[in-house]
Amino acid sequence: MHKATWDLKQVEINVTGTYDWDNGRINCKQSKTSGLMVGTWSESPTYQAPDDAGDIELQQSVDGNSFTGKWRYGYSGDWAGEWNGKRIR
């Protein structure tokens, strides 16, 4: 398991941010009713699929202090792993 610090910002339904694993980037839209964030992740060196980018789905907790989710390489096929996080500040 790898640990990374994420810095996410939300403006209306748009959630964007970075994380410190391979200079990662997140770009999602969040449902106003369910809290589900759907979008993409990308990482250096290329920030391109299939090896350095793909889909992401993150479910925000009801209190907004954590999320659970999944990611995959590229934009189709099986999910490759899970991402889980909690607010630290």
Query: Residue 83: pLDDT above 80?
Result: yes
pLDDT digits (tens, 9 = 90+) for 55-81: 999 999 999 899 999 999 999 999 999
Q: Are 32 and 45 in contact, with CB atoms under 8 Å apart?
A: no
Distance, CA of 87 to CA of 73 (rounded, Å): 25
Q: Tell me what pLDDT residue 89 has.
A: 74
Calculate mean pLDDT across residues 37-48: 98
Q: Kindly report the pTM of this predicted structure.
A: 0.91
Tens digits of residue pLDDT in 28-38: 999 999 999 99
Give the three-class secondary structure for 38: strand
β-sheet with 36-42: strand ranges across:
6-11, 14-19, 24-30, 36-42, 53-60, 66-71, 81-86
- Split at pLDDT 50, 70, 90, the class of 1 is low
23 and 4 Cβ atoms separated by less than 8 Å? no
